[in-house]
A = this chain, B = another copy of it.
């Protein structure tokens, strides 16, 4: 079995079978990172380009490590200040990369849909590493992978996502993925940070975190973008923290074995109390570890596609 698309642009439209394939594949690669020799020859001689048009370290390093552990050749470039931006179109830029026989282009871009635009114009595989406030599918996949490892399944679980629902690509990808896998999603946040279309996605909306917590098998805390503070969306961090921060007090009303997740980077004391971030329920650092495994799985599934198709 293989993925239907040559690209991973988002989780919208990706089937349950495909998500399961990715998570199962990640399971087999997770073990590689736990050896002392964390390397397999799987993608030797493949070229993977990390094309980051927005600053990112965590996701870029995770993809870079994933590529190296698969023995692929990885190339990094960020376009701020590079010649690629001098009048050249984005499609011309990536067609140049493809002409150098890139197998996979991992793209982060501030503009929603940018990875989709380039994917339509390339034979190379494209992985969306975050496009504006649209999707961040590898983050959602690592979140689902982490849940599945801990709770054995996704189907039937209740995931409460707390925070900046409107501007989060993480939440959008998670909603697509989790609901496809049969989970129930409740989003929680101040009304200004919850877009109206969210309820049309079949998602439950709550404004009071204390109503949501007791229902959660998983509480997923989103990062508050500090730079948004002072805008109409978010009156003050103090106010936000008072109403929505995941604190030890709030954890008292949670299920006993609830998982606490956060895509990082964490604002300690803002959206999450340090005692919870570092506490027994937290799987935040496991999410980071699992990110490498999920990205290895995707690189494996997409980088070799052309040859797999040939041999079929």
Question: Which bracket fits the contact residues of A?
Answer: 35 or more
Q: Are A62 and B226 in contact (CB under 8 A)?
A: no
Among A216-271, those with CB < 8 Å from B are 226-227, 264-268, 270
The verdict on A100 contacting B266 (CB below 8 Å), with A37-B45, A65-B73 known, is no
User: A285 an interface residue at 8 Å Cβ cutoff?
Assistant: yes
Q: In the complex the two chains form, what is the Cα distance from A34 to B306 in whole Å? A: 12
Among A68-88, those with CB < 8 Å from B are 68-69, 73, 75, 77, 79, 81-84, 86-88
Q: Are A292 and B226 in contact (CB under 8 A)?
A: no
Q: Are B285 and A101 in contact (CB under 8 A)?
A: no
Protomer copies: 3
Q: In the complex the two chains form, what is the Cα distance from A197 to B163 in whole Å? A: 52
Q: In the complex the two chains form, what is the Cα distance from A87 to B223 in whole Å? A: 10
User: A1 an interface residue at 8 Å Cβ cutoff?
Assistant: no
User: A4 an interface residue at 8 Å Cβ cutoff?
Assistant: no
Q: Are A44 and B34 in contact (CB under 8 A)?
A: no
Q: Which residues of B contact A45 (CB under 8 A)?
A: 35-39, 69
Q: In the complex the two chains form, what is the Cα distance from A101 to B30 in whole Å? A: 11
Q: Which residues of B contact A227 (CB under 8 A)?
A: 86
User: A96 an interface residue at 8 Å Cβ cutoff?
Assistant: yes
User: A154 an interface residue at 8 Å Cβ cutoff?
Assistant: no
Q: Are A292 and B101 in contact (CB under 8 A)?
A: yes
